[in-house]
Structure 1
Amino acid sequence: MEKYVKIKKLGEGSYGIVYEALNKLTGEVVAIKKLKTKCTSKEECKNQIEVKALQKIKHPNIVKLKEINGENGNVFLVFECMECSLYDRLNNIRMVSFSESEIKNLCFQLFQGLAHMHGNGYFHRDLKPDNLLLSKDHGIIKIADLGQARETDGEPPYTDYVTTRCYRAPEVFLHSSVYDPAVDMWAMGAIMAELFIHRPLFRGDSGGEVLYKICSVIGSPTESKWSEGLQLARNMNYRFPDHPGMPLASLLPSASSEALCLIATLLSWNPCLRPTATEALEHPFFDDVTPPIHVNKDLPWKRALLKPARSSKI
């Protein structure tokens, strides 16, 4: 790591600390992530889930891993450096709001990256504006931070402590022991909505508070909508509040009918009713988007059956 000099700390998460750094030999500015997990061998380093995933799912809309370095048991991942995160852009009061054309372009790119990721056997589990990186002109967006990624054919049980609450899918709140890439699609629905209103749609300080907010927006689940979810709730002695929901158009007044339709389907209680990333790319909302689609349709991910999990409070 001698060839790199740190410029500044960019951020810190559950799995590592990220620094902006300069390659003294080439003059290139990069982002270096120091993993919190120690490794005793090169093979152990390569078996880190984030490393395995990034080496397999190379795509224009997934941040590029340039190098893997080990030093004194520490693992350093060297990435291309992007200008800022979507979170930075959303919270910059000097920036004007996103136009629907911009939202369409950004979401199209994200669904391309997710279609490639899911098709190649991984799902992210931690999609949020902080982990979506923008280029200098804000025209290119890339998915980053795969520290919580999981293989789609991985063995259960799955952890229920994934992603920030306001982007966390209901089945995760309800401690489902098995879930699938549909959790990423729920997160995308929440992110799309946030792009229109510049604030989280489901903000809350606890799981129960977020579930209450979800019910107040999309209406409480019923047996016909999501019987598996109601069973999960009964298993943990949780009772959904009784809410009819409200029209999304009243919350996202600047969104077109096509945008509202896509967001509504992404925010379906039942994971099986959410579109896949490839299906989302084919939604009428994207009819006038022209960039090429980087999707391998021969590698579909298989939806897992939701199974009841342990009893627990939210």
Structure 2
Amino acid sequence: RKYAALLIGMRKRTRSVEVWTPSMEKKIRIDRERTRLVFGLRKASLEMKFRGRRRAVSIRTVCRGFDAYERVEYLGQGSYGKVYHVRDMLSKGEFAVKVFNKDHHSESVPQDALREIDVLKSVQHPNIIRLREVIADFTSKQVGIVMEKVDCDLLTVIESAGKPFTQSEVKTMMFQLLNGAAVLHRSGWIHCDIKPSNILWSRKEKLLKICDFGFAEPIVGGRGQCVEQHGTRWYRAPELLEQDEGHRFSGGPPIDMWAVGCVFAEILQREALFPGENTMEQRGIVRAFHKGFEERVRMLFGFTGRNTGCNTSNVTRIDEAGVHLLMGLLARNPKERCSAAKAWNHRWFEDRRRTVSQKSGELKISIRIL
């Protein structure tokens, strides 16, 4: 422990976290950039050989513990952990903390925690949830991420709406969702689990934020790796539903854009567009929807649509430009599906882009066509 502390060069009286070697390896290598990025280490370049199969190295860190926050209430559960409303014991500020489930198969930091921290550290934008700090309980070997606290998720907003949203309200939500997705993709990540419960909404600021990056995958060569079981079934792209079960699929941003299209339709009709009970039924619903695709979308959501048996009084009607955007997001062929940046620059949002450009400095948006 003394040797490790001297080698890393950390201050005394700081907490320590144990990093275990894989059972089949004889040496441990702690990547300098990744470890510094996650835990804030000053120096983290360490490589040592071990004779035993499970030997630990003590790494001195500067992250605070769970006792730095007072737990106020339980908020819910995400992909890989529970979320709590907490209060900073020093500043008295209120935040949300996500406590990751302990990995019982390994004594190391869970990979989903590292993945989510990587995303939040590398992507900072008004439409992406903001990371405050990483905290750890070194006794129970749990890791938590402290984030800004937002009023509620989009699913709650949709379910609590007593009447259909106006076209202007839908446009405001979708403009920000596409903005966040475009920044995420440009930063080299795909979310893989975009859905209303993973989108937060601030009622006071009218600000939307994407959260829960437990399934996120890096984009390599324009594509990422997603598993069919990843993400919620109702929002899975057709290419994920059609692949062999359990196989990894080399997808990319179009996977997220299909989910964004599903969220768009759900905001319009206040219920899920493809609520399949299982994968087979989900495939059938999606295939049936794309028979007479353009006419079906216009009838469901366009101003000139005829009543097709659904209660149209509960559906938000959008103009032809909005219908064109929705069809671009729900294109069955991923190569024909609209990208986030192109969707953000769609003519349906012309008035929103004009408003943003007039409010200099209020929203710093820099989008380029991908």
What is the one-letter code of the residue matched to 2:261? G
CA distance in 2, matches of 1:12, 1:62: 19
Deviations 1:142-172 (A, max 9, x none): 0000010000118976311122111110111
Partner amino acid, structure 2, of 1:285:
W
| 2:91 maps to amino acid | T
Match of residue 295 from structure 1 = 366
What's the counterpart of residue 59 of structure 1?
125
Aligned to 1:252: 301
Matched, 1:284 2:343: no
TM-score when scaled to structure 1?
A: 0.81
Letter in 1 for 2:68: K
Q: Are 1:49 and 2:115 an aligned pair? A: yes
Question: Helix, strand or coil: the match of 1:82?
Answer: coil
CA distance in 2, matches of 1:244, 1:260: 11
Look up the equivalent residue of 1:200 and give its one-letter code: A
Deviation at 1:208, TM superposition (A): 1.7
Aligned to 1:115: 182
**Per residue, is there more strand in 1 or in 2?**
2
Give the aligned partner of residue 102 of structure 1.
Answer: 169
Q: Which of 76, 97, 119 matches 1:11?
A: 76
Is 2:333 aligned against 1:267?
Answer: no
Asked if 2 retains the 8 angstrom alpha-carbon contact of 1:262 and 1:285, the reply is yes
Deviations 1:199-232 (A, max 9, x none): 011111011212221222222xxxxxxxxxxxxx
Q: Deviations over 1:43-73 (max 9, x none)?
A: x889811111110011110000101011131
Task: State the structure with bigger RCO (CA 8 A, min sep 6), 1 or 2.
Answer: 1
Segments of 5+ residues of structure 2 without an aligned counterpart are 1-65, 303-316, 358-363
Deviations 1:225-272 (A, max 9, x none): xxxxxxxxxxxxxxxxxx778521222251211111111111111111
Question: 1:288 is paired with a residue of what secondary structure?
Answer: helix
The amino acid across from 1:163 in the alignment is G
The amino acid across from 2:185 in the alignment is H
Q: Deviations over 1:269-298 (max 9, x none)?
A: 111111111100111111111225623538
| Residues 15, 37 of structure 1: 8 Å contact kept | no
Matched with 1:25 is: 90
Q: Give the direction of change, closer, same or farther, for the CA distance of 1:41–1:167 in structure 2 (3 Å limit).
A: closer
SS in 1 for 2:251: coil
Q: Which residue of 2 aligns with 1:137?
A: 204
Aligned twin of 2:29: none
- 1:126 equivalent in alignment to 2:193: yes
AA of the residue aligned to 1:140:
L
Partners of 1:249 and 1:255 within 8 A in 2:
no
User: Quick check: 2:112–2:214 contact (8 Å CA) kept in 1?
Assistant: no
What is the CA–CA distance in structure 1 between the aligned matches of 2:114 and 2:241, rounded to whole Å? 26
Once superposed, what is the RMSD of the aligned Cα atoms?
A: 2.4
Distance, in Å, in 2 between the alignment partners of 1:249 and 1:194 is: 15
Match of 1:90 in 2: 158
In 1, the alpha carbon distance for the partners of 2:293 and 2:156 equals 34
1:86 Cα deviation after fit: 0.2
CA distance in 1, matches of 2:349, 2:225: 36
**CA-to-aligned-CA distance 1:13-40 (integer Å, 9 cap, x gap):** 3311111112232222111000114485
Paired letter, 2:85:
E
Quote the residue 2:149 is aligned against: 81
Q: 1:169 aligns with which of 237, 244, 250?
A: 237
Greater mean alpha carbon deviation, residues 172-181 or residues 188-197:
172-181
**TM-score, normalization: structure 2?**
0.69
Q: From 196, 202, 206, give the equivalent of 2:278.
A: 206
Letter in 1 for 2:290: I
Residue identity in the other structure for 1:66: R
Judging changes above 3 Å, is the alpha-carbon distance between structure 1 residues 145 and 47 closer, same or farther for their aligned structure 2 residues?
Answer: closer
Give the Cα–Cα distance (whole angstroms) in 2 for the partners of residues 268 and 45 of structure 1.
Answer: 33
Structure 1 runs, 4 residues or longer, greater than 4 Å off: 37-42, 44-47, 154-157, 243-246
Contact 1:278 1:295 survives alignment (8 Å):
no
